[in-house]
């Protein structure tokens, strides 16, 4: 589909649809907010993850969605971020 995020190569979703699912405003079959967050965490670039999801949402959702992420490297990275960020940069979680 034209105008689709690079991490949605195998889905027929527009950017707006993905963002609506990511924000919990839309569900399309099994494509719900948990799916969208997991998809972004698994395949998104770090900069895009922070821009689209934000630090606070990563902290909130990571414990519940960790086991859905297949990449061990990504798991280690987000485990570190979730532990390190609140102690070292709590101001990033206020927004």
Model confidence pLDDT, tens digit, residues 23-33 = 999 999 999 99
- The span from the CA of 71 to the CA of 15, in Å, is 24
pLDDT above 90 covers a percentage of the chain that reads: 87
**Residue 4: its pLDDT value, please?**
84
2 has a pLDDT exceeding 80: no
**Residue 37: its pLDDT value, please?**
98
- Give the C-alpha distances (Å, rounded to integers) separating 16 from 2, 53, 73, 75, 92: 12, 14, 29, 27, 26
Query: How does pLDDT run across 72-89, given as a tens digit for each residue?
Result: 999 999 999 999 999 998
What does the block give as tokens for 16?
Answer: 């707006």
48, 40 Cβ separation under 8 angstroms: yes
The whole model's pTM is what?
Answer: 0.91
**Residue 3: its pLDDT value, please?**
65
**Residue 91: its pLDDT value, please?**
85
**Residue 15: its pLDDT value, please?**
96
């Amino acid at each position: 589909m034209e105008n689709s995020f690079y991490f949605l190569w195998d889905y027929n979703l527009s950017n707006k649809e993905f963002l609506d699912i990511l924000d919990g405003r839309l569900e399309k079959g099994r494509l719900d907010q948990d799916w969208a967050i997991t998809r972004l965490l698994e395949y998104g670039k770090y900069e895009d993850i922070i821009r689209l999801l934000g630090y606070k949402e990563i902290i909130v959702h990571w414990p519940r969605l960790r086991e859905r992420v297949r990449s061990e490297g990504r798991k280690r990275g987000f485990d570190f971020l979730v532990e390190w960020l609140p102690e070292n940069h709590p101001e990033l979680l206020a927004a």
